[in-house]
Structure 1
Amino acid sequence: MPHPSVAADAGVGYGCRELTQHAEFRAAAALYARVFAYTESEYALNANLLTALARNGGSAVGAFTEEGALIGFAYGFAGCDADGACFHYSQAAAVDPAQQGRGVGQALKLAQRAVALRWGQRSMRWTFDPLLSRNAHFNLSSLGAVGIAYERDYYARPDTDRLVVSWDLDGADRSVRRLPPCPAHARAGRLGGEP
């Protein structure tokens, strides 16, 4: 059973916690589709999948305004590589475009970290498009993740090359650099992991 956790900085106007209600899982799936402009059913998330992930070693966390509106969402699952290394795999993070540049993505990653640590996972992996410099800066400089592989056509189709990163969750407190709010004109883009 998921245990709600709060990961909010005072004064930012939002807080992060685990999703627990069907309506929250549905809202997260809708936000994901809207942020990534997905209209094809093959890219859809659904509430049942997110609920199952959250109950079985995965994560489904949201960033909510003080009024209760969902402005960001991240989800992941327990993973294991061919060498037997276990980790939490963060599949995607999506932040409402109007809320980007406010540290929401970083807060979501920190909330995912808390969930992964509770499940006993000591590292987190995810991928991102290495051509998106803002994502590279966020993942490598701000969070302190380390590139471990470059994968061509990661999603088994052309033009989906990705850099795979690993984040030491035990050392994350030392490696995360808190991001200052970004000016409104610089807010753009999506966080990594998306197909």
Structure 2
Amino acid sequence: MNGSTIRELRMMEDLDAVSLLYAGIWGSRPGNSPISAEVMRALAHTGNYVAGAYEDGRLVGASVAFFGEPVGTSLHSHITGSVVGRGVGLALKMHQRQWALDHRLRRITWTYDPLIRRNAYFNLTKLGALPEDYLPSFYGAMHDTINGGDESDRVLVAWDLTAPTPPEAIEPPLGAAHGVRNHRGRPEIAATDAETVLVDLPDDIEALRLTDPGTARAWRLAVRTTLGGLLAEGARVVGFHERRRYVVRRTITPRVRPPHRSHQS
């Protein structure tokens, strides 16, 4: 972000501008921004994180977060939005990271739509956050441009601020098998007991929600069943391959051999 600044926001006129920016990004109806200026004012006043990114004096991104659990160690990032393609989102997350470290916090959590490929790539690969939980219909049905009235499944990720950023490239091991495969734009689910499971994503879920809601719903249910089921079993996502699929590794419990018994006659 050349020629840009990021600063914390507290004044109502600044927060009104953030609310309008969010409404434009999410395509919300007038007066129905994802978060109001009044709520942001309350959060900022009580010491939480509310920041805006500016280019040549123009607001181009913002982020809102509040203290979470475990108390004293974690920040929960509720919403971050920015113009696309200028590195604003990454700059905001790095500013948020430094703010958290300055407040002696060790991790940041947030939720995201698991079907949006660019968000998965950004969160898992660029930042190194790791999914912890799958949350079906977390906010209910959301009637904005991005969600298109679909149920709001979310993945909760945690960003360990003390851990090194993982390598960007990851190759699934031999023996990895698809739990969900993208076949000509539609999801194909396959049962597998492989240790490493691949979960494909659609090319553009936001466009599908507008043009083919039935296929969009099929993708949500496929990923909910497979990725959500694996996480519920204790599996963990270890990477995002080729910007299009989750790499999930099951936790394998080693078999305990029964003790050898000797027999004497």
Normalising by structure 2, report the TM-score.
0.55
- Cα 1:176–1:13 shift into 2, 3 Å: farther
- Cα 1:138–1:61 shift into 2, 3 Å: same
**Cα distance in 2, alignment partners of residues 112 and 69 from structure 1:** 20
Where does residue 78 of structure 1 map in the other structure?
67
Where does residue 3 of structure 1 map in the other structure?
none
Cα displacement (A) at 1:85: 8.4
- Cα 1:44–1:155 shift into 2, 3 Å: closer
**Contact 2:10–2:45 (CA under 8 A) maintained in structure 1:** no
From 130, 140, 152, the equivalent of 1:146 is: 130
- Cα 1:22–1:128 shift into 2, 3 Å: same
Residues 1:27 and 2:17 are matched in the alignment: yes
Cα displacement (A) at 1:42: 5.4
Cα displacement (A) at 1:115: 2.4
Q: Secondary structure at the match of 1:64?
A: strand
**Cα distance in 2, alignment partners of residues 52 and 36 from structure 1:** 22
Relative to structure 2, which stretch is displaced further, 38-47 or 18-27? Answer: 38-47
Relative to structure 2, which stretch is displaced further, 32-41 or 139-148? Answer: 32-41
Where does residue 113 of structure 2 map in the other structure?
129
- Cα 1:113–1:141 shift into 2, 3 Å: same
- Cα 1:136–1:72 shift into 2, 3 Å: same
Where does residue 85 of structure 2 map in the other structure?
101
Cα displacement (A) at 1:169: 1.9
Residues 1:16 and 2:6 are matched in the alignment: yes
Cα displacement (A) at 1:150: 0.9
Where does residue 183 of structure 1 map in the other structure?
none
Cα displacement (A) at 1:125: 0.5
Higher relative contact order (CA 8 A, sep 6+): 1
Cα displacement (A) at 1:176: 7.9
Where does residue 54 of structure 2 map in the other structure?
64
**Cα distance in 1, alignment partners of residues 111 and 135 from structure 2:** 9
**Contact 1:151–1:164 (CA under 8 A) maintained in structure 2:** yes
Gaps of 5+ in 2: 142-149, 169-205, 207-265
Q: Between the two proteins, what is the percent identity of the paired residues? A: 35
Q: Secondary structure at the match of 1:126?
A: strand
Deviations 1:25-58 (A, max 9, x none): 1111110111101116555523232122123242
Residues 1:90 and 2:77 are matched in the alignment: yes
- Largest Rg, 1 or 2: 2
- Cα 1:156–1:57 shift into 2, 3 Å: farther
Where does residue 120 of structure 1 map in the other structure?
104
**Cα distance in 2, alignment partners of residues 76 and 103 from structure 1:** 19
Deviations 1:125-161 (A, max 9, x none): 0111111111000000000001111111111446211
- Cα 1:177–1:125 shift into 2, 3 Å: same
Give 1:154's aligned amino acid.
F
Relative to structure 2, which stretch is displaced further, 135-144 or 29-38? Answer: 29-38
Give 1:94's aligned amino acid.
G
| RMSD, aligned CA | 2.5
Deviations 1:162-184 (A, max 9, x none): 1110001233xx32889xxxxxx
> Aligned pair count?
161
